[in-house]
Amino acid sequence: MTVEQIYTGCLAQGAYYIRSKGEAVIIDPLREVSPYIERAKKDGVEIKYVFETHFHADFVSGHLSLAEKTGATIIYGPEADPKFDAYIAKDGEKFQVGDVTLTVLHTPGHTIEGSTFLLRDENGKDVAIFTGDTLFLGDVGRPDLAQKDSGYTEGQLAGMLFDSLRNKIMPLADDLMVYPAHGAGSACGKRMMKETKDTLGNQKKVNYALRADMTKEQFIAEVTDGLGAPPAYFPMNVQLNREGYSDIDKVLGAGTQALSTDEFMHIAETDDVLILDVRKSAEYAACHIPNSIFIGLDGSFAPWVGELLVDVKQRILLIAPAGREEEAVTRLARVGFDHCLGYLSGGMEAWKASGRETGEIKSISAEAFAQEHKDAFVIDVRKPTEYQSQHLLEARNLPLQTLRSNISQLPEEGDIAVHCAGGYRSMIAASIMKANAVHNLINIEGGFGAISETNLKTTEFVCPTTL
């Protein structure tokens, strides 16, 4: 028996490959399924099942494509209502895979159909649980994402989650390995650990939601406390996962079309087309197409695309690093953005050679800012908890997620300096502001990390865990 976690850092997402005696299963696969198929072919095994722990909100799963290409059966737990062929398992139902079995444990709370899969080895010993978004390391799945469709309140779902954990998961052996669907950085929880697997016994010790003396009322209060609004694209991803989507190969074929500058400009001039620049932030700052939006591939690309672009039907033109065009289209598709129309052949060099207009964003070091721009209006685009932990005395907190709706609050005169923690989010913010006719911008390189090394005055540090 082999159990392999296939972790994707950009999405903080874990898929799983399990094989035994000529057969394999995939749990919560990513949209692009060829790596799973190639791995099974290399191992000489047949992919028998595709297990889905629930209808995911933060990414589009590869279940449909994988089933179509391999003939595998898609398995959901009780209460699932997919609009395609799938097997809806009963609570406690077992599935044989080679010499091992997977038992479906219905664990509603994060979602109604949410299920955990218990792996038992060839000797009949319980060895692992694949918990989806029911149980994370250090946390549990937020209970507010399924309210609209479920007919239950956030509190009622949290109560279900309490029962699921106490009745289905906590009675299991302490030496079981816990394999969750997400780790730190995912918006599906709030206190997740950076580790991606752990024993159940250790989670009983360190996970606040698994305290043995916790009442249901305490659990509901703590699990629902401090939940921010979920990203706006989440319901659209749930819909795609439940109802179906285009095959990834078709999406890649359309999105990786190389466009000449004339072709690119002709499409860009039509209504409702967004130019998305995914290069490095320094490259964008130095030269970019006016009104383009920057979200760099070398960061939390897909989640920020979903958070800021929102509508998965948005038509997109790409400015991408040479050789990374397919990667960009793939990562867009992971969160349901399937309408990429192509990329600019030759990139910004071709654009400049055509004589068309370009833009730039002034980007300076924190030290230079401290010496030369002390009178600037400073915007801190970090999360509120980051800002509250420590910030420049004069900085105003406008989190990146809310920036677009707060553009009108920015001053019309004087310099506006923007920073985040390290520089990635601030360049995204600067691109959004500039696309909304805010041109007196200064990006502070290195973000608050660099600012804290200067003589600029900041608030006293407060440990984020106390906020």
pLDDT digits (tens, 9 = 90+) for 297-333: 998 899 899 999 989 999 999 999 999 999 999 999 9
Instruction: Report the pLDDT value the prediction gives residue 465, as an integer from 0 to 100.
Output: 61
Can you tell me which residue has the tokens 């911008």?
441
How far, in Å, are 21, 54, 118, 163, 262 from residue 51 at the CA level?
18, 9, 12, 23, 46
Using the predicted structure, report yes or no on whether residue 121 has a pLDDT greater than 70. Answer: yes
Using the predicted structure, report yes or no on whether residue 150 has a pLDDT greater than 80. Answer: no
* Per-residue pLDDT reduced to its tens digit, 65-120: 999 999 999 999 999 999 999 999 999 999 999 999 999 999 999 999 999 999 99
Q: Where among 211, 235, 259 does a domain terminate?
A: 235
Q: Smallest Cα–Cα separation from 111: which of 282, 238, 255, 249?
A: 238
Task: Report which secondary-structure segment, H or E, holds 17.
Answer: strand 13-20
Q: Where among 323, 353, 383 does a domain terminate?
A: 353
For residue 228, being part of any structural domain is answered with yes
Residue 285: which pLDDT band, with cuts at 50, 70 and 90? very high
Beta bridge partners of 120: 101, 126
Instruction: Report the pLDDT value the prediction gives residue 271, as an integer from 0 to 100.
Output: 79
Using the predicted structure, report yes or no on whether residue 165 has a pLDDT greater than 60. Answer: yes
CATH assignment of the domain containing 100: 3.60.15.10
Using the predicted structure, report yes or no on whether residue 373 has a pLDDT greater than 90. Answer: no
**Residues 193, 305 within the same domain:** no
The whole-angstrom separation of Cα 54 and Cα 46 is 23
**Residues 45, 169 within the same domain:** yes
Residue 295 CA to chain centroid, in angstroms?
Answer: 14
* Per-residue pLDDT reduced to its tens digit, 174-217: 999 999 999 988 887 778 899 999 999 999 999 999 999 999 99
Domain that includes residue 209, residue range: 2-235
Residue 343: which pLDDT band, with cuts at 50, 70 and 90? very high
Q: Where among 312, 332, 353 does a domain terminate?
A: 353
For residue 195, being part of any structural domain is answered with yes
The whole-angstrom separation of Cα 205 and Cα 224 is 21
For residue 240, being part of any structural domain is answered with no
Q: Report the phi/psi class of residue 414: left, alpha or beta, with left for phi > 0 and alpha for psi in -120 to 50.
A: left
| Angle at alpha carbon of residue 184, lines to 180 and 185, rounded to 5° | 120
Whether residue 27 contacts residue 53, with contact meaning beta carbons closer than 8 Å, is answered with yes
**Residues 342, 375 within the same domain:** no
Task: Report which secondary-structure segment, H or E, holds 372.
Answer: helix 366-372
Whether residue 145 contacts residue 187, with contact meaning beta carbons closer than 8 Å, is answered with no
Using the predicted structure, report yes or no on whether residue 3 has a pLDDT greater than 80. Answer: yes
| Angle at alpha carbon of residue 228, lines to 224 and 234, rounded to 5° | 100
**Residues 87, 224 within the same domain:** yes
**Residues 181, 74 within the same domain:** yes
**Residues 345, 367 within the same domain:** no
Report the chain's mean pLDDT, rounded to a whole number. 94
Q: Report the phi/psi class of residue 226: left, alpha or beta, with left for phi > 0 and alpha for psi in -120 to 50.
A: left
What is the end-to-end Cα distance of the chain in Å, rounded? 44
* Per-residue pLDDT reduced to its tens digit, 240-267: 999 999 999 999 999 999 999 999 999 9
pTM exceeds 0.95: no
**Number of domains comprising the chain:** 3
